[in-house]
Chain A
Amino acid sequence: MVYFDHAATTPMLPEAVAAMTRELGHVGNASSLHASGRRARRVVEESREAVASAFGARPSEVVFTASGTEADNLAVKGLFWSRRAADPRRRRVVVSAIEHHALLEPVLWLAAHEDAEVVELGVDSLGRVDPAELEAVLDEDPQGVALVSVMWANNEIGTVQPVSALAAITSAHDIPFHTDAVQAAGQLPIDFAGVGATALTLSGHKFGGPPAVGVLLLSREASPVPVLHGGGQEREVRSGTLDVPGVAAMAAAAAAVAADLPERQRHLAQVRDDVVARVPEVAPDAVLNGDPLLEPEHRLPANAHYSFPGCEGDDLLMLLDAQGIECSTGSACSAGVAQPSHVLLALGADTDVARSSLRFSVGLTSTKSDVDALVEALPAALLRAREARGRARS
């Protein structure tokens, strides 16, 4: 089996599995006052410190959630509500056109239900937001903006955004800046203090932790209105009993990744560069989407995203799956139906190009022989997919 869908989820690191299995054997609610509770609390707080240290934050800035999606919802809705409560003129939510659905949908919900006004920052053909455009948007009506949110790196095409510059522009206007860094964690160095963001989203299972554990790094000045109400366990902004084994496992993964990030980066880039070097040999008309500069400042080291003209991504996915090669069309699903990717459409691609795309995302377990298998299976798959699309159009 060749697994090239690490951007969807990547295997748990041995350190994370060890931490999780260790904690699964213990009883204890981190909010309880007795010895078992104190023990659980200690694990949570040590995990908090490990996560903070791995991502350049202070422990008090770490808010555990049950997913990246929940963290995005808390950031976007929570900051919108608190900012607008302080000044009703603040209706605008400024986001890039290529945000993940976990960010985009809460923003659209605010527009539909809370009278928010969505301001979309366009991207160039490589998927990059222009800081000057943000500057112009904020200058136009600085009093009217509730928050700005631009992802650290794009999940489909891997383009890395100039988040430091965007955060600096935003904070110069005294406006909170959030970034969804779910795809960046484990691939790029993330320094919450250094980047100057108000809030930052992470998801455990994208960097070797378990699924269903997320984090919102939240600066101490920010006080979003909670989305989940209850016991107020996490800084009174997030309620719900903490998942001690999950939190411990994610922290273990975060620490492991931070300890030797450059080495991990090199491995990811090596396999990915092999994909980028060899796919065009067997598919000369394949188009690499996103930034052609492969350095990690420009593009996620694990990401290769192609359009294969004349093919349906769905067909290619199925044909490669039959050969034991797992990849993704990289786009959102409803009932499993792939919609043309809003990311590719935002780059200026037409629907056909958007539907002809596949994402190969490599991971720490990927090897050169995985790439060998891909380039061996790809030509026959392309031939059949092209034929299928040709017949569908005739």
Chain B
Amino acid sequence: MKVLAALSGGVDSSVAAARAVDAGHEVVGVHLALSKSPESFRNGARGCCTLEDSRDARRTADILGIPFYVWDLSDRFKDDVIDDFVAEYEAGRTPNPCIRCNEKVKFTAVLERALALGFDAVCTGHYARIVETVAGHELHRAVDETKDQSYVLGVLSGDQLAHAMFPLGYSEKSEVRREAAQRGLLVADKPDSHDLCFVPDGDTAGYLRRHLGDRPGRIVDPSGADLGGHDGAYAFTVGQRKGLQLQSAASDGRPRYVLSIEPVSATVTVGPREQLMVGAVRAGAPRWCGPVPVDRHIRCRVQVRAHGALMPAHARVGHDGLVVQLDQPTPGVAPGQTLVLYDGSRVVGAATVTATAA
């Protein structure tokens, strides 16, 4: 096959590309430039897409003996990921930009361009498994549970999976690092990247403040009693405990958490942990990942954030979306988050949380 290997300059995508080469595919390396004005150097584990990353990707391609190009996806990344991220926070929701990037950039813009240019598949260093069955292509959790990335790929359709290649799905991360060193890849010791790649200093609230400006509002308790002010509701996420800067302590002396954010009046409601617990989740129309389930009632496990726990649940597929009943209530589920449904290790589908209830 002709395979386009997305090379971020990190260890995972490098080893993934190396394995695709070993498997006998005709591989071309492409580094995706997602920023118009990249930083020169990486700052530890923060950020990515720096000029240094681009050079690292090029050196990997050199060592693998494959052609290498840089594709400028900065416009698509800004439109589909960054603007969406800012707009979602502005609307009081909690988005996952990595999911958006996989959905819109890597497996739509890049994949479509690759297919048109004569490639058969896009290869990445994601930790997830694609299993081909008679019913179509299925997405499964990675063998290395601690690195599993099936959650951020849960929005992919069967068609997209049919043209995707994740050579690391059956490997442990430690194995991948060892293999990188054995192969002489210079990125074998490079730290994993964390946080949001477009917020290199890790200060998400500051990033949003620069984009959205001050939007002062009030912080109230569930009864509506005023507890203080804030400069912008976007700096808060549901489930947050630290940094609330409340002027008065709770009467019961227990810690308080962000329960909800009302964007129009910029009101942030805080309260005790038990009021954070969510047992029922409503979500929008699901995107099925692989075969569409026949049954309208699905016994499944759900995950609501990257590297979050798998929680047993019942999902009911309605005409306007999903209703999910969790076996055990859980804290920190908020509108905007992506809910991914699993049947065993298999991703069944994904939907965006629209509302929660105890």
Residue numbers of A with Cβ under 8 A of B are 314-315, 317-319, 321-322, 334-338, 384-385, 387-388, 390-392
CA distance in complex: A318, B66 (Å): 12
Contact partner, A335, options B38, B67, B113, Cβ 8 Å: B38
Contact partner, B72, options A338, A387, A388, A391, Cβ 8 Å: A338
Most chain A CB inside 10 Å of its own CB: which residue of B28, B51, B116? B116
Contact partner, A318, options B31, B38, B69, Cβ 8 Å: B69
B72 touches A318 (CB 8 A): no
A314 touches B33 (CB 8 A): no
CA distance in complex: A391, B31 (Å): 20
Cβ-closest chain B residue relative to A391: B112
14 pairs from A and B in contact (CB 8 Å cutoff): A317-B69, A319-B117, A334-B51, A335-B38, A336-B33, A336-B58, A336-B70, A337-B33, A337-B70, A387-B116, A388-B113, A388-B116, A391-B112, A392-B112
Say if the beta carbon of B352 comes within 8 Å of chain A: no
Beyond A390-B116, A391-B113, 9 extra complex contacts between A and B, CB < 8 Å: A314-B72, A318-B117, A321-B67, A334-B38, A335-B38, A335-B54, A387-B117, A391-B116, A392-B113
Q: Enumerate chain B residues within 8 angstroms of A318, measured Cβ to Cβ.
A: 28, 67, 69, 117
Q: Enumerate chain A residues within 8 angstroms of B72, measured Cβ to Cβ.
A: 314, 337-338
CA distance in complex: A314, B113 (Å): 12
Q: Enumerate chain B residues within 8 angstroms of A322, measured Cβ to Cβ.
A: 28, 67
CA distance in complex: A385, B113 (Å): 9
CA distance in complex: A225, B77 (Å): 45
Most chain B CB inside 10 Å of its own CB: which residue of A315, A334, A336, A388? A336
CA distance in complex: A248, B343 (Å): 73
Q: Enumerate chain B residues within 8 angstroms of A336, measured Cβ to Cβ.
A: 31, 33, 54, 58, 69-70
Say if the beta carbon of B196 comes within 8 Å of chain A: no
Residue numbers of B with Cβ under 8 A of A are 28, 31, 33, 38, 51, 54, 58, 67, 69-72, 74, 109, 112-113, 115-118
Q: Enumerate chain A residues within 8 angstroms of B113, measured Cβ to Cβ.
A: 315, 388, 391-392
B70 touches A335 (CB 8 A): yes
Q: Enumerate chain B residues within 8 angstroms of A392, measured Cβ to Cβ.
A: 109, 112-113
Q: Enumerate chain A residues within 8 angstroms of B33, measured Cβ to Cβ.
A: 335-337
Contact partner, B118, options A334, A337, A384, Cβ 8 Å: A384
CA distance in complex: A391, B70 (Å): 19
A384 touches B54 (CB 8 A): no
Cβ-closest chain B residue relative to A315: B117
CA distance in complex: A385, B114 (Å): 10
Q: Enumerate chain A residues within 8 angstroms of B28, measured Cβ to Cβ.
A: 318, 322
Q: Enumerate chain B residues within 8 angstroms of A385, measured Cβ to Cβ.
A: 117
CB distance from A382 to the nearest CB of B (A): 12
Contact partner, A384, options B67, B109, B112, B117, Cβ 8 Å: B117
Cβ-closest chain A residue relative to B49: A335
CB distance from A2 to the nearest CB of B (A): 16
Cβ-closest chain A residue relative to B72: A337
Cβ-closest chain A residue relative to B31: A336
CA distance in complex: A322, B31 (Å): 17
The 10 closest A-B pairs by CB, nearest first: A336-B70, A388-B116, A387-B116, A391-B112, A335-B54, A337-B72, A337-B33, A388-B113, A335-B51, A388-B117
Q: Enumerate chain A residues within 8 angstroms of B112, measured Cβ to Cβ.
A: 388, 391-392
CA distance in complex: A384, B114 (Å): 10
CA distance in complex: A319, B31 (Å): 16
CB distance from A102 to the nearest CB of B (A): 20
CA distance in complex: A236, B180 (Å): 51
CA distance in complex: A334, B37 (Å): 9
Q: Enumerate chain B residues within 8 angstroms of A337, measured Cβ to Cβ.
A: 33, 70, 72, 74
CA distance in complex: A271, B54 (Å): 36
CA distance in complex: A322, B3 (Å): 13
CA distance in complex: A72, B125 (Å): 44
Cβ-closest chain B residue relative to A335: B54
Q: Enumerate chain A residues within 8 angstroms of B31, measured Cβ to Cβ.
A: 335-336
Contact partner, A314, options B71, B74, B109, Cβ 8 Å: B71
CA distance in complex: A319, B114 (Å): 11
Q: Enumerate chain A residues within 8 angstroms of B118, measured Cβ to Cβ.
A: 319, 384
CA distance in complex: A319, B119 (Å): 11
CA distance in complex: A257, B85 (Å): 58
Q: Enumerate chain B residues within 8 angstroms of A335, measured Cβ to Cβ.
A: 31, 33, 38, 51, 54, 70
CB distance from B206 to the nearest CB of A (A): 25
Cβ-closest chain A residue relative to B112: A391
CA distance in complex: A337, B54 (Å): 10
CA distance in complex: A335, B74 (Å): 13
Most chain A CB inside 10 Å of its own CB: which residue of B38, B70, B117? B117
CA distance in complex: A172, B51 (Å): 47
CA distance in complex: A45, B31 (Å): 47
CA distance in complex: A280, B304 (Å): 56
A314 touches B116 (CB 8 A): no
Q: Enumerate chain B residues within 8 angstroms of A334, measured Cβ to Cβ.
A: 38, 51
CB distance from A333 to the nearest CB of B (A): 8
CB distance from A272 to the nearest CB of B (A): 26
Q: Enumerate chain A residues within 8 angstroms of B116, measured Cβ to Cβ.
A: 384, 387-388, 390-391
Contact partner, B69, options A314, A384, A388, A390, Cβ 8 Å: A314
CA distance in complex: A66, B71 (Å): 32
Most chain A CB inside 10 Å of its own CB: which residue of B51, B70, B74? B70
Cβ-closest chain B residue relative to A380: B118
Cβ-closest chain A residue relative to B52: A335
Cβ-closest chain B residue relative to A394: B112
Q: Enumerate chain B residues within 8 angstroms of A314, measured Cβ to Cβ.
A: 69, 71-72
CB distance from A237 to the nearest CB of B (A): 31
Cβ-closest chain A residue relative to B109: A392
Q: Enumerate chain A residues within 8 angstroms of B51, measured Cβ to Cβ.
A: 334-335
CA distance in complex: A390, B113 (Å): 9
CA distance in complex: A388, B33 (Å): 18
CA distance in complex: A381, B113 (Å): 13
Q: Enumerate chain B residues within 8 angstroms of A391, measured Cβ to Cβ.
A: 112-113, 115-116
CB distance from B247 to the nearest CB of A (A): 47
CA distance in complex: A317, B71 (Å): 12
Cβ-closest chain A residue relative to B33: A337
CB distance from A352 to the nearest CB of B (A): 12
Cβ-closest chain B residue relative to A355: B72
Q: Enumerate chain A residues within 8 angstroms of B74, measured Cβ to Cβ.
A: 337
CA distance in complex: A102, B71 (Å): 24
